[in-house]
Amino acid sequence: MDENPVLVELREGYRVVTLNRPQRLNAFNEAMHVALAAALAEAEADGSCRALLLTGAGRGFSAGQDLTDRLAAGETPALGGDPLVRKLRALPFPVVAAVNGVAAGAGANVALACDIVLAARSASFVQAFARIGLVPDSGGTWFLPRLVGAARARALALLAEPVAAEQAERWGLIWKVCDDAALIGEAERLCEHFARGPTVGLALTKRALDAAETNDLAAQLDLERDLQREAGRTPDFAEGV
Ligand code: T3D
């Protein structure tokens, strides 16, 4: 059994959560799922946590579902990517992914579920599912067309070819590429920025952007009005003005 499949560091105003099965490129087994769910729940319950940095130990970010786990189980285990992606999207503060190396299968889509995705220049993203006869999950079929458009989404999902970090940035799959040695520092700077920021307003902004995926303009304008009223009652607004 892995000692600590997920590492958590408490920083001033934010947490660093590291997927920690480097010998398996941080592929998700059951223990890692459980530990990550607990780490996210603890971060959410901690009122002083105002951002979260998600990264991987070693040379990969995550290779998705642990396929040896799957074989050992002799059945189709529930990946757990579904609750994980829901939780990442719903956290009431920004989540920054620092993709330090290859992100494959569900590992790629967990990264794409984060609010801001930074990637090391040497990193890559691969929708590996088609290579083993599976369907992109953990939100892949939802995120891809929205991020890169229908044509690229289809090719990525059907061909399962890797996309290098620089291409991912050019296509809008991710926010930014960083030199490998600068990645974590850049992600930390973003989290420090968010830790000093208007957390409630940022959480409401996340909610508005997510709702915009299904709302028509009228519904979205109504929602913006309601959320703006809520944001306008915060001390952050008073201070900002
Ligand atoms: O099960 C369900 O419920 C369905 C849900 C599925 C969700 C999914 O995520 S499906 C997709 C699963 N992931 C993959 O198919 C990716 C498999 N891995 C790869 O294609 C390659 O490893 C990479 C492209 C990610 C990286 O290649 P490379 O050459 O840099 O590294 P490597 O040598 O292939 O891997 C290094 C080690 O990690 C190696 O172990 P070893 O030989 O050194 O002992 C390899 O077996 C291990 N590893 C890599 N990916 C996985 C893994 N072990 C378990 N599960 C993995 N997914």
pLDDT by residue, tens only, the chain of 241 residues = 558 999 999 999 999 999 999 999 999 999 999 999 999 999 999 999 999 999 999 999 999 999 998 666 555 545 556 899 999 999 999 999 999 999 999 999 999 999 999 999 999 999 999 999 999 999 999 999 999 999 999 999 999 999 999 999 999 999 999 999 999 999 999 999 999 999 999 999 999 999 999 999 999 999 999 999 999 999 999 999 9
Ligand 1 neighbours by CB, cut-off 6 Å: 24-25, 27, 63-68, 70, 76-77, 79, 102, 104-106, 126, 128-129, 131-132, 134, 137
Q: What is the pLDDT of residue 3?
A: 81
Q: What is the pLDDT of residue 78?
A: 53
Taking the C-alpha atoms of residue 58 and residue 22, their distance in angstroms, rounded to an integer, is 5
- Centre of ligand 1 from the C-alpha of residue 63, in Å: 5
Burial 207-233 (b: 16+ CB within 10 A, else e): bbeeeeeeeeeeebeebbeebeeebee
Q: Which residue type does 199 have?
A: T
